Amino acid sequence: MKILIADDDPVSLRLMQRTLQNYGYEVVTATDGLQAAQVLSSPGGPRLALIDWMMPELDGPGVCREVRSRHEEAYIYILLLTSRQSTEDVVNGLEAGADDYLTKPCIAAELKARLHTGLRVLQLEDKLVEAREEMRFKATHDALTSLWNRAGILSLLSSELSRSSRHHTPTSLLLCDIDHFKKINDTYGHPVGDEVLQQVSLYLRHLVRPEDAVGRFGGEEFLIVLGECGKAALKERAEQIREEMSRVPFITQEGSISVSLSIGAITIENAHKSLEIDSYLKQADAALYRAKAAGRNQVVYVESPVTV
């Protein structure tokens, strides 16, 4: 665990550094309050800190206030080192944002115990953050494919159209449907159908840019959001996705299965005129229906999108 020691007394700093290294900590040092605040606020900085109360540039409570004001995502546990023992001083330090305090000179056993308390608090905070992120992921992602779910991809589409409106850039959509998916389920069973959905999802993520978004729109339908993608680029990329998907066989527990996609594609070039998402999706869906009616495994484009 990385820990910061901030003290302007070089002798005290070296002694504390040696003690904490013997405890197994990775020690980072600072000799004034401003430097300490910068280290604690830097990406990947220590999350455990021993801060001397009296320091140049910024005192211990000042460091606490500065760190707390920056609203770091990961919590930083701060202990103030002080020779002050009055209740008023202790209260002022805690109100400034310190989590605990130690009276100088420190007793080794007490120092070790209070640091362990800090570690337990940080471990608990990590577990809570992990649980929160897991809940957030489950709320926005499809359980089977790990793609964005319908609500998640629509939220991203809304954000992308807003960005497109501000920067006057085009956004393109691909509404994709796995051809003859019902036949796959009927022939091989739903577990194999699930395998196909998972592999198609993985391959779609591979075929788009990192900044693009892929979501499971429902059943065997997928929605792909391509930011800053105009009509010419859309035709190139849509055909690449369709061709690559039909070329690669998917290996399942029942053997190799060939899959193709029918795609309805639309480019939104004037998002500032309308952010009515349903209108664009309906037009892409109509194009998808025409692709399926025309024999499947092809892309149909909305040549002149209707804005509302």
Angle between helices 87-95 and 60-69 (to 10 degrees): 20
Helical spans, DSSP H, in the chain: 10-22, 33-41, 60-69, 87-95, 108-140, 150-167, 181-188, 190-207, 231-247, 277-293
Residues 6+ apart with CB under 8 A from 265: 172, 173, 174, 175, 234, 235, 238, 284, 287, 299, 300, 301, 302
**CA atoms within a 13 Å half-sphere pointing along the CA-CB vector of 68:** 15
Query: Nearest-CA neighbor of 203 among 171, 156, 240?
Result: 240
Q: Tell me, yes or no, if 195 is annotated catalytic.
A: no
Quote the tokens at residue 25. Answer: 């900590």
Catalytic residue among 220, 228, 239, 244: 220
Looking at residue 215, the DSSP 8-state letter turns out to be E
How many Å separate Cα 299 from the centre of its chain?
32
In the numeric block, the tokens 């739903």 are attached to 190
Separation in Å, CA 139 to CA 136, 152, 153, 234: 5, 8, 12, 30
Backbone angles phi and psi of 132, in degrees to 5: -65, -45
294 forms beta bridges with none
Cite the active site residues: 220
